[in-house]
Structure 1
Amino acid sequence: MLRTLPALILALALASAPVHAQSAPDDPAASVPQTWQMLDYLAADYAGAVKHGEVVSASEYDEMREFARHARNRVQALPTSPATPALREQADTLVALIDAKASEADVARAAHALTDGLLQAYPIPTAPSKAPDLAHGAAVYQAQCALCHGATGHGDGPAGLQLSPRPIDFTNAARADQRSALSLYEVITQGVAGTPMASYAQTLSSDERWSLAYYVGTLAYPEAASQGEQAWHGDARARGAIASPNELARARVSSLADTIGVTQARLVVGYLRAHPQAVHEALAGLPLARTRVADSVDAYRKGKTEEARQLALSAYLDGVEPVEAQLDARDAALRARIETAMGAYRTALSQPAAGDAVATQSHDVDQLLAQAQLLLAAGAASPTTTFIGALTILVREGLEALLVVVALLAFLRKADRHDATRYVHAGWILALLAGAATWAVASYAISISGASRELTEGLSSLFAAGVLLAVGLWMHQKSIGGRWQSYLKAKMATALDRKSAWFVFGLTFISVYREVFETILFYTALWNEGQGQWLLAGIVVGSIILGLIAWILLRTSQRLPLGLFFSLSSLVIALLAIVLTGNGVAALQEAGWTAVTVAPVPSIDVLGVYPTWQSLLAQLAVALMLALGFAYNRWRASAS
């Protein structure tokens, strides 16, 4: 691509000018894209240097060796990360393959593996911020690129015929098969060192460069214009492989061909580059989950265990999690069975020589997903279903937080520390505001992924459970043998003047926010069902019920003798610690952090009971600690 100037003068000028500024090697944000582009260029051009183990172009081969060594040096200069040893080993392997004149396929595979590893270790933006405008990309191409690359992309423009090396022929399908839209974008952005291809980072905006890259990426696949749409919509495997703008930007025909064949891959990639918005309109929800499960089975059979596990995890987080609210409102029991079955399936994928179990469990998961798909395909939820779903979600999620808040308020009032109740009220009010901010961010700024949601819920649940475990044991200790009287007289006057007040605030905030976080994300999904007025009605009625429960609990606690109040409060808080432990472990299982082993027990969400041995054993451990703590408290009281 060259600007529209006299060809010879421009070629000489570009050949003598620096292509782009070199960034500091320890700056991943700048160094990684340059290294990635160099490796991607090498993967595509190596075939022009070596054929069947023989050098066919000495100059090209020398350039490939130089690029590989330069890339290795850049990899070695990057900041240390957990992936550093593997990346350096991959870079050494690539250099050795090129020195040994290995096959084009082996070199391309090694180069692409290293590029993928770089992006995982040092994440950088790899997709356009909005769908590229192909019409504008075509106009930019004719104005900026056609003079060298030719009006139709054959590399035969009037200026290009006078250049050495000759401009790339974008219609060469074999070469284009190795390039992604991201590859082309990086070349346009950074240029290619040692060639007349200059950087257009200062000339074209990022959106223009992406539009140009996508347009250029279609030139090798003219048949996609007439046949690509049918190929894309008719092939669930292709839709499963390219299910996001990131995946489309990084998609190559060479990698997709392993799944659907070269011919089909060219049609799909060519069509999607010409119509990038189609990705947003395609796979989502349960169809995506079913496709990812099928892909995970294939990956497992090929010995790619980790890839299979990641696909299975994506099936839940990217496919099931976004529609969990709708499914929960219509058939909560089915949603629970899907969660448990998919967790058990992920665990089976981690086991060696579990082929039969994997096949059986994947079939069971697919049957459950198909059942859920039919349920959701029946149309939007009825007004009654939406109302009941909104009501039960709020009461179920809010009750745990309400019990913590009420227990703290009742305790402070019993201790005659009304001044300290403001910390409790500040905690739950700020938690509600933080929840509203979460909704705004999730709706208008970013998309909160399923993994982020589950990790937030899981870690906050376990943190709150740990705090409540300590509080429950402490309150039980004060309820025995009249110890509450001496405590209130000797300690309470000063306890909340120090760090305890902020402890109360923190416990209130965490307990309420974790419930608000989950509830708002549920409501965001239900709002899209088109029954907004019934959703709001359910929220209003649920709020009234929670308010009534709070009033009854506070009124009742005021009439209880202090010793009985401490005893009942310690039991309630102990129960909450057990419930939150079960919820926390279940959330971490859904995020893929913890294995899943199915246990023969029913799922009881309100008690945090889930049919997995991991969650049950964690709850049993907390219950055992509470039992031992209570017994120890009683022994100390009787001994003294």
Structure 2
Amino acid sequence: MTLSFLISFSAHANEAQSDTRQLMQIAEYINVDYREAIKNGEIISQGEYDEMLEFSALAVEKTQNLDGGNAAVEAALKLQTAIKNKQEPADIEPITVELRHLLMDIAPAVTLKKSLLPATQTHALFQQNCIACHGAKGQGDGPLAASLEPTPTDFTDKARAHSRSLVGLYDAITNGIDGTAMAAFSQLNDQQRWSLAFYAGSLAFTESEQVSQTPTGMTMQDFVSHSPTTLNKQFPAINLASIEQLRANPSPLFAAADPLAMAKQQLEASHKAYLADEFKQAQALAVSAYLDGFELAENALDAYDTQLRKDIEASMMQFRQLTSQANQETALAETLEQADAQLTQAQNMLSADTLSESTLFTASFIILLREGLEALLVVLALVTVLVKTERRDAVKFVHTGWILAIAAGFGTWWVAQHLVSISGASREIMEGVAALLAAVVLFYVGFWMHSKTNASNWQAYIRDNIHRHLSTGTLWGIAALAFIAVYREVFETVLFYQALLTQSLPSQFMSVGTGFIAGIVVLAIIAYLMVKFSLRLPIRKFFLFTSYLMLALSFVLIGKAVAALQEAALVSMSPMPINLDIAWLGVHPTWEGVLAQLLVVLVSLILLLGLPSFSQNKTA
């Protein structure tokens, strides 16, 4: 059922994306080519003008079929009327820009690649697929150009390039353009199409010897979704020359960002969005500032200054809360200034020149110990239960679960690096849902195990009940629990180590590796002691001990689940008057998380205190 839902949801999302993106492409195409049809209120090319009429009619028709597209319909009708009245290109441009913005508000986010193909491969792709029409240098003068109507685009035309977005070029490559010789290049994969879009979008601009930097406040989504002219208007502080340089050489956009610099950039962008009354965008950027920025550096900072880490988290939480409230301009500016100063302090502390070997070792050790301990305890509890109940043959199911989880975690990381962009919010949702599911299952199993500790004849009970209940389906359920417990940690652990390595010099990688090995050793010692202790316990005491362990783990995981979903902005965040932060217990200073954990404690006490009478009135 879950798989069919995902397929259905994906198909619906793809259809919505196709319609809105096609309309965005039409609006952009009209903006660029209308100047070839009309001048001084007169038709200068009947063929081009007929095409403008056709595209504007198509825009009206398709916007009427969009959910929530009433404003877009009005803009499309306005555009159609302006074209019929042969208004000047300068009058058409703001209407097409307005239509694109309205469509972007209801369109799914653009899915970007983590990297482009090497320049030599992209150039070869262009030569293989594009020169027949566009020419070897992209000037629209290929061997077939003279016979085509309309003529192929000259990618070196700077005025035209200023009005074309990269996503518009990508969509043209992906879907083709109806009524033209531009065919869909569906045989190319997504990375190849994005690489060609960036390449075509670069040909009108000259690369400077000085490497361009990504302007503060502008995201990759902004850069690919808007034309240079629109970007210059949307971000007045960013001059057009900087945008042109990034079009000529987009490599800085794909460079690994400093997590703390990313946090500062997203907070500043959030503040600007708030001042522009774009509250949803402000909240999304505030969430991104933590998840895509600060969270990736907090392990290293924790090894230096735990209090500073807590202060930054508190400031960012306060900032995010303020973005959801109206008329908070002054308070938001003050909180931004405070958070920026704290992040600058953290940057100075964690700069490559000051990051010590011992700090890297400690951060590496803490990452593995903190992220791996819960998963280890769940896996060991499952293994020891099976061994104590004389089902050693079923242990392989647990091993299958955690081994697949490690493989899936690394696989997810690889996909996130090379195929699709997985945001910090998506990562937290994935972790939060997994933690919530694991907490519920562990609570149930812990309560069930405790309810059986009053069985008078344990050996007979095991033989007659537990063996029978551990069917193949149940064993695969155990494997699934092991998978969930481990998978929720692996993907994020890999990201944390990746971020830690980017903050290290190559000569310091050994310290990170040593910390990792030390973490493995400590986890191995914990595993050995737990197994040895558990297996020496009488079976009734073992079940009692394991049931309490699972209930305790459910307490920790429910707190972490709420925290993760809060960080992804799916659950509200209400700060407590005191900074109650005990990370290893999953306790965070928000009322929602603490109340969820108190509920686990309360239900556990009610059930456990009522167990004697419960067990006496129930048969095995």
Structure 2 match to 1:93: 75
Structure 2 match to 1:108: 96
Q: Which moved more, 1:542-551 or 1:527-536?
A: 527-536
The whole-number CA distance in structure 2 between the counterparts of 1:114 and 1:46 is 20
Label 1:468 to 1:188 Cα distance change in 2 as closer, same or farther (>3 A). closer
Give, in angstroms, the shift of residue 386 of structure 1.
2.2
Label 1:358 to 1:635 Cα distance change in 2 as closer, same or farther (>3 A). farther
Pick one of 291, 309, 314 that aligns with 2:265: 291
Label 1:172 to 1:208 Cα distance change in 2 as closer, same or farther (>3 A). closer
Give, in angstroms, the shift of residue 259 of structure 1.
4.5
Label 1:409 to 1:104 Cα distance change in 2 as closer, same or farther (>3 A). same
Structure 2 match to 1:523: 497
Q: Structure 2: state its 5+ residue gaps.
A: 1-13
Structure 2 match to 1:389: 363
Q: Deviations over 1:119-166 (max 9, x none)?
A: 527x5669983365799999999977899x9x997x999x99999989
* Amino acid corresponding to residue 257 of structure 1 in structure 2: N
* Amino acid corresponding to residue 201 of structure 2 in structure 1: Y
Q: Structure 1: state its 5+ residue gaps.
A: 1-25, 78-83
* Amino acid corresponding to residue 312 of structure 1 in structure 2: A
Q: Deviations over 1:413-442 (max 9, x none)?
A: 332333333333333343344445455556
Label 1:526 to 1:93 Cα distance change in 2 as closer, same or farther (>3 A). same
Label 1:463 to 1:299 Cα distance change in 2 as closer, same or farther (>3 A). same
Give, in angstroms, the shift of residue 619 of structure 1.
1.2
Residue 170 of structure 2 corresponds to residue 179 of structure 1: no
Label 1:613 to 1:379 Cα distance change in 2 as closer, same or farther (>3 A). farther
Pick one of 600, 603, 618 that aligns with 1:622: 600
Q: Deviations over 1:449-498 (max 9, x none)?
A: 42333222211111100001111211222224758677435312312135
Give, in angstroms, the shift of residue 44 of structure 1.
3.6
Label 1:144 to 1:436 Cα distance change in 2 as closer, same or farther (>3 A). closer
Structure with greater Cα Rg: 1
Cα contact 2:79–2:96 (8 A) shared by 1: no
Label 1:282 to 1:90 Cα distance change in 2 as closer, same or farther (>3 A). same
Give, in angstroms, the shift of residue 551 of structure 1.
2.1
Give, in angstroms, the shift of residue 608 of structure 1.
0.7
Aligned-partner SS, 1:499 = helix
Pick one of 14, 26, 30 that aligns with 1:42: 30
Aligned-partner SS, 2:390 = coil
The whole-number CA distance in structure 2 between the counterparts of 1:395 and 1:201 is 48
Cα contact 1:42–1:111 (8 A) shared by 2: no
Give, in angstroms, the shift of residue 582 of structure 1.
1.0
The whole-number CA distance in structure 1 between the counterparts of 2:617 and 2:138 is 94
Q: Which moved more, 1:246-255 or 1:499-508?
A: 246-255
The whole-number CA distance in structure 2 between the counterparts of 1:141 and 1:417 is 61
Structure 2 match to 1:587: 564
The whole-number CA distance in structure 1 between the counterparts of 2:108 and 2:515 is 43
* Amino acid corresponding to residue 248 of structure 1 in structure 2: F
| Aligned ranges 1:187-586 → 2 under 5 Å | 209-210=196-197, 213-218=200-205, 233=213, 238-242=215-219, 244=220, 247-261=222-236, 265-281=239-255, 284-379=258-353, 381-438=355-412, 441=415, 448-480=422-454, 482=456, 487-488=461-462, 490-528=464-502, 529=504, 530=506, 531-586=508-563
The whole-number CA distance in structure 1 between the counterparts of 2:294 and 2:15 is 38
Cα contact 1:132–1:210 (8 A) shared by 2: no
Q: Deviations over 1:600-627 (max 9, x none)?
A: 2332111111112221122122222212
Aligned-partner SS, 1:240 = coil
Q: Deviations over 1:211-248 (max 9, x none)?
A: 66224432xxx7x859xx59x55xx7x34314x3x543
Structure 2 match to 1:607: 585
The whole-number CA distance in structure 1 between the counterparts of 2:193 and 2:58 is 27
The whole-number CA distance in structure 1 between the counterparts of 2:382 and 2:128 is 65
Give, in angstroms, the shift of residue 113 of structure 1.
1.7
* Amino acid corresponding to residue 73 of structure 1 in structure 2: E
Cα contact 2:145–2:151 (8 A) shared by 1: yes
Cα contact 1:137–1:211 (8 A) shared by 2: no
* Amino acid corresponding to residue 601 of structure 2 in structure 1: A
Give, in angstroms, the shift of residue 593 of structure 1.
2.2
Cα contact 1:476–1:570 (8 A) shared by 2: yes
Pick one of 69, 75, 88 that aligns with 2:57: 69
The whole-number CA distance in structure 1 between the counterparts of 2:320 and 2:501 is 31
The whole-number CA distance in structure 2 between the counterparts of 1:469 and 1:182 is 48
Give, in angstroms, the shift of residue 46 of structure 1.
5.2
The whole-number CA distance in structure 1 between the counterparts of 2:187 and 2:397 is 56
Cα contact 1:181–1:217 (8 A) shared by 2: no
Structure 2 match to 1:18: none
| Aligned ranges 1:4-83 → 2 under 5 Å | 34-45=22-33, 57=43, 63-74=51-62
* Amino acid corresponding to residue 548 of structure 1 in structure 2: I
Q: Deviations over 1:173-211 (max 9, x none)?
A: 76654322444565678776667x755969998588546
Cα contact 2:16–2:108 (8 A) shared by 1: no
The whole-number CA distance in structure 2 between the counterparts of 1:142 and 1:434 is 38
* Amino acid corresponding to residue 116 of structure 2 in structure 1: S
The whole-number CA distance in structure 2 between the counterparts of 1:578 and 1:557 is 21
Count the aligned residue pairs.
589
* Amino acid corresponding to residue 497 of structure 1 in structure 2: S
Q: Which moved more, 1:574-583 or 1:440-449?
A: 440-449
Aligned-partner SS, 1:381 = coil
Label 1:435 to 1:333 Cα distance change in 2 as closer, same or farther (>3 A). farther
Cα contact 1:597–1:614 (8 A) shared by 2: yes
Cα contact 2:59–2:76 (8 A) shared by 1: no
Cα contact 2:449–2:547 (8 A) shared by 1: yes
* Amino acid corresponding to residue 560 of structure 2 in structure 1: N
Give, in angstroms, the shift of residue 372 of structure 1.
1.8
Label 1:333 to 1:482 Cα distance change in 2 as closer, same or farther (>3 A). farther
Cα contact 1:132–1:276 (8 A) shared by 2: no
Cα contact 2:580–2:589 (8 A) shared by 1: yes
* Amino acid corresponding to residue 397 of structure 1 in structure 2: E
The whole-number CA distance in structure 2 between the counterparts of 1:579 and 1:615 is 10
Label 1:331 to 1:437 Cα distance change in 2 as closer, same or farther (>3 A). farther
Cα contact 2:386–2:392 (8 A) shared by 1: yes
Give, in angstroms, the shift of residue 114 of structure 1.
4.5
The whole-number CA distance in structure 2 between the counterparts of 1:414 and 1:502 is 19
Q: Deviations over 1:40-60 (max 9, x none)?
A: 112345577789xx9555967
- TM-score in terms of structure 1 length: 0.77
* Amino acid corresponding to residue 86 of structure 1 in structure 2: G
Label 1:602 to 1:371 Cα distance change in 2 as closer, same or farther (>3 A). farther
* Amino acid corresponding to residue 361 of structure 2 in structure 1: F
Identity %, equivalent residues = 34
